[in-house]
């Protein structure tokens, strides 16, 4: 089996990760430059972006491939520009995180050197499962980071847990909204119970940690 990544795709993933990580740690990075910030928060932000965004997108990619589709991550240039511009102009107070996404097509993947071994069946069911992979990963990491946050004292690991928890909950909650083009719309359209099973824990954690913490 050859690489499941197209030419330049890994570079695109790395660029998206770095841009989003810089955006969510902008104030800490500025603080480092002027000698008032700490490195812990910057590292935590990069870890959070890797789990909350990159692994979310890779979840979509690998589940799509397993179900017989071609899936590649592509940078969204305007998204990169907006992410950088908004965080810079707001001084780190507002983050717009959409540097890229996985694009999926129902084509003959054998042509590209890898084969899922599965014929495409029910496209709507496939779409639901592929869509659920991303927020599902966010939910799994949110729970993991929550358990870490509850079990360690204040310090580096606590900072990593906080960033990881909040970013995974935030991105997962947003993506599970039943709004056109978002994962939630595709999931709820096929199965309300599955949609609620993923969405409710994320929405509950979002409300608790953003309004009652």
Task: Please provide residue 118's backbone torsions phi and psi, each rounded to the nearest 5 degrees.
Answer: -135, 135
Residue 119 resides in a domain: yes
pLDDT for the residue 1: 36
pLDDT for the residue 175: 94
pLDDT along the chain (213 residues), means of 10: 71 94 91 81 94 94 90 91 90 82 70 49 87 96 96 93 94 93 93 96 94 77
Angle at 53 between CA 102 and CA 26, to 5 degrees: 130
Q: Count how many domains the chain has.
A: 1
Helix (H, G, I), strand (E, B) or coil at 73: strand
Residue 136 resides in a domain: yes
Angle at 167 between CA 165 and CA 171, to 5 degrees: 120
Question: Would you tell me how many other CB atoms lie within 10 Å of the CB of residue 38?
Answer: 13
pLDDT for the residue 138: 97
How would DSSP label each residue in 109-171?
Answer: GGGGT---S-----HHHHHHHHHHHHHHHHHHHHHHHHHHHHHS-SSHHHHHHHHHHHHHHHH
Residue 3 resides in a domain: no
Residue 34 resides in a domain: yes
Angle at 111 between CA 134 and CA 50, to 5 degrees: 25
Question: What is the extent of the structural domain holding 68?
Answer: 9-211
Assess contact for 95 and 86: CB atoms under 8 A. Answer: yes
Residue 173 resides in a domain: yes
Assess contact for 55 and 133: CB atoms under 8 A. Answer: no
Q: What is the pTM for the complete model shown? A: 0.87
Distance, CA of 128 to CA of 188 (rounded, Å): 8
Provide the token pair at 28.
């800490």
Query: Is 5 exposed, middle or buried, given 0-12, 13-18 or 19+ CB atoms closer than 10 A?
Result: middle
Distance, CA of 119 to CA of 38 (rounded, Å): 51
Residue 1 resides in a domain: no
Residue 148 resides in a domain: yes
pLDDT for the residue 97: 78
Residue 35 resides in a domain: yes
């Amino acid at each position: 089996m050859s690489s499941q990544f197209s030419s330049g795709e890994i570079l695109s993933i790395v660029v998206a990760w770095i841009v989003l990580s810089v955006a969510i740690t902008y104030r800490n990075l500025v603080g480092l430059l002027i000698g008032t910030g700490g490195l812990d928060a910057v590292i935590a932000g990069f870890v959070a972006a890797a789990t909350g965004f990159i692994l979310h997108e890779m979840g979509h990619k690998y589940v799509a491939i397993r179900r017989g589709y071609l899936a590649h991550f592509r940078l969204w240039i305007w998204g990169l520009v907006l992410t950088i511009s908004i965080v810079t102009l707001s001084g780190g107070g507002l983050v717009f995180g959409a540097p890229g996404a996985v694009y999926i097509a129902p084509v003959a993947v054998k042509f590209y050197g890898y084969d899922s071994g599965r014929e495409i069946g029910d496209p709507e069911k496939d779409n639901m499962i592929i869509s659920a992979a991303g927020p599902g990963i966010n939910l799994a990491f949110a729970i993991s980071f929550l358990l870490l946050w509850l079990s360690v004292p204040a310090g580096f690991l606590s900072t990593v847990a906080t960033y990881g928890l909040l970013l995974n909950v935030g991105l997962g909650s947003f993506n599970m909204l039943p709004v056109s083009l978002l994962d939630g719309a595709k999931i709820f359209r096929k199965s309300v119970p599955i949609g609620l099973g993923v969405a409710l824990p994320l929405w509950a954690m979002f409300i608790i940690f953003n309004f009652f913490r």
